[in-house]
């Protein structure tokens, strides 16, 4: 809630009834609560749901954020709360901006994070422009992250509920986008609070389970999706120890990720082995002892910087970083090597750092997100 009484709850200088808000509605409980709360406050709410891939296939698919069932659920919420709702066909955009890169990155031996690219290239770029075309004053989403006003303008902060914080997936949000976006759930302390709000509004999705999978990857089976998108991608090859010994064969590099231990198909060895590198050109999976996974220095590129000073204005930035969404931030020193590139030195080495993952920057003593970039080559 803004401190200035002249501003409404979204920080804009006019009454809610005169403030149009486009709400990105996935059909889940989070974005539904955002739309319902804003409609309840009297805002001019317009709900928009994106159809991101084949609707016919989606209708039979559960557990993903943009399936056909979810489009139906979003529409029901809009009907319940009495605001307009639109479905936009972004299937081609989504394939070009997200799915194709996902497939190519995986084939190159990286471990991509397509949800970040979707936020960056579809939701916060194309959909945001659509919101402006609809004369909306801002766009709201159900992400668990906070937008706070700082001395130099809007800042990105971790959600109050760190267990649900989604800042890792939103690091590429630009300062310009941040001025237009709103995240009304970021201050909530638990998902139970969100569901209670949904129940209070009588929303049909109040008890709907959270989505778990990437929306176009049923049951988390990445390899099956890649094989469908890129026929011939699962060519067999050798599993090789880092010392050069050939230990076995595999059914395709796409079935393996850096740091993987289980399911290697090379049982009977005296030492536990992990995937330490993927040689895509030679179709080789290189395995080795756990200590080979340890990484201290990480090259990062395509950096989106959200600090108040220019990124390259300092020789180094003492910050905390996340190299995987499931890990807590760890202390690091970030040394710019160009306007959007850097060398990140971890004060404590991490295991399983993989190209294709994001490296997100945080205030080591607070909740602010300073942006981040992409890890672009292996340990």
Q: pLDDT tens digits, residue range 44-55?
A: 999 999 999 764
Mean local confidence (pLDDT), 119-146? 96
Multiple choice CATH, 16-219, 3.90.230.10, 3.40.50.620, 3.90.380.10, 3.30.499.10 = 3.40.50.620
Per-domain residue ranges for the chain?
16-219, 234-288, 295-375
- How far is the C-alpha of 317 from the C-alpha of 298, rounded, in Å? 14
Check whether 68 has a pLDDT greater than 80. Answer: no
User: In which order are the strands placed within the sheet that holds 237-241?
Assistant: 246-250, 237-241, 284-288, 274-279
Query: To which CATH superfamily is domain 234-288 assigned?
Result: Adenine nucleotide alpha hydrolases-like domains (2.30.30.280)
pLDDT band at 59 (very low <50, low <70, confident <90, very high): very low
Q: What is the pLDDT of residues 151-170, one digit of tens each?
A: 999 999 999 999 999 999 99
DSSP 97: I
- How far is the C-alpha of 167 from the C-alpha of 361, rounded, in Å? 10
Check whether 61 has a pLDDT greater than 70. Answer: no
Q: What is the pTM of this model?
A: 0.90
One fold for both 16-219 and 234-288? no
Q: What is the pLDDT of residues 99-109, one digit of tens each?
A: 999 999 988 88
Do residues 155 and 44 touch, judged by C-beta distance below 8 A?
no
pLDDT band at 65 (very low <50, low <70, confident <90, very high): low
Give the DSSP letter string of 119-168.
IIIIIIIIIHHHHHHTT-SEEE---SEEEEEETTEEEEEE-SSTTT--GG
Tell me if residue 66 is catalytic.
Answer: no
Percent with pLDDT over 90 in the chain: 76
CA distances from 88 to 50, 94, 99, 127, 206 (A): 5, 12, 18, 9, 24
**Tokens describing residue 299:** 């090259």
Q: What is the pLDDT of residues 252-273, one digit of tens each?
A: 988 898 899 988 988 777 889 9
Catalytic hit among 65, 66, 118, 138 = 118
Q: What is the per-residue pLDDT for 67?
A: 54
Which residues partner with 284 through β-bridges?
Answer: 238, 279
Tell me if residue 215 is catalytic.
Answer: yes
Q: What is the pLDDT of residues 185-230, one digit of tens each?
A: 999 999 999 999 999 999 999 999 988 778 888 777 888 888 888 8
Quote the Cα angle for 54-60-63, to 5°. Answer: 95
DSSP 210: P
| Domain 295-375 in CATH 3.30.1280.10 | no
Catalytic hit among 65, 66, 215, 359 = 215
């Amino acid at each position: 809630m803004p401190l200035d009484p002249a501003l409404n709850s979204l920080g804009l200088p006019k009454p809610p009834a005169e403030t149009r808000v486009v709400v990105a509605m996935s059909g889940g409980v989070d974005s539904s609560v955002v739309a319902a709360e804003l409609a309840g406050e009297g805002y001019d709410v317009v709900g928009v749901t994106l159809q991101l891939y084949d609707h016919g296939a989606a209708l039979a698919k559960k557990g993903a954020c943009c399936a056909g069932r979810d489009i139906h659920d979003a529409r029901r919420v809009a009907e319940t709360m009495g605001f307009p709702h639109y479905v936009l066909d972004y299937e081609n955009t989504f394939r070009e901006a997200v799915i194709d890169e996902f497939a190519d990155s995986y084939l190159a031996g990286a471990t991509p994070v397509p949800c970040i690219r979707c936020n960056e290239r579809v939701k916060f770029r194309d959909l945001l422009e659509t919101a402006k075309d609809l004369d909306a004053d801002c766009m709201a989403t159900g992400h668990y992250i906070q937008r706070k006003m700082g001395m130099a303008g809007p800042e990105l902060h971790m959600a109050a509920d760190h267990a649900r914080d989604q800042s890792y997936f939103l690091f590429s949000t630009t300062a310009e986008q941040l001025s237009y976006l709103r995240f009304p759930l970021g201050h909530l302390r638990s998902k139970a609070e969100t569901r209670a709000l949904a129940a209070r509004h009588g929303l049909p999705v109040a008890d709907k389970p959270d989505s778990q999978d990437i929306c176009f990857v049923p049951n988390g089976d990445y390899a099956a999706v890649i094989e469908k998108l890129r026929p011939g991608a699962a060519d067999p090859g050798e599993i090789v120890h880092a010392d050069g010994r050939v230990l076995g064969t595999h059914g395709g590099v796409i079935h393996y990720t850096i740091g993987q231990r289980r399911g290697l198909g090379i049982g009977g060895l005296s030492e536990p082995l992990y995937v330490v590198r993927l040689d895509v050109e030679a179709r080789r999976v290189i395995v080795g002892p756990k200590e080979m996974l340890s990484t201290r220095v990480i090259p990062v590129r395509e950096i989106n910087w959200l600090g108040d000073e220019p990124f390259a204005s300092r020789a180094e930035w003492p910050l905390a970083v996340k190299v995987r969404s499931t890990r807590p931030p760890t202390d690091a020193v970030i040394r710019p090597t160009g306007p959007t590139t850097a060398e990140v030195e971890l004060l404590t080495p991490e295991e399983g750092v993989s190209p294709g993952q994001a490296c997100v920057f945080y205030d080591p003593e607070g909740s602010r997100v300073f942006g981040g970039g992409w890890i672009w080559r292996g340990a």
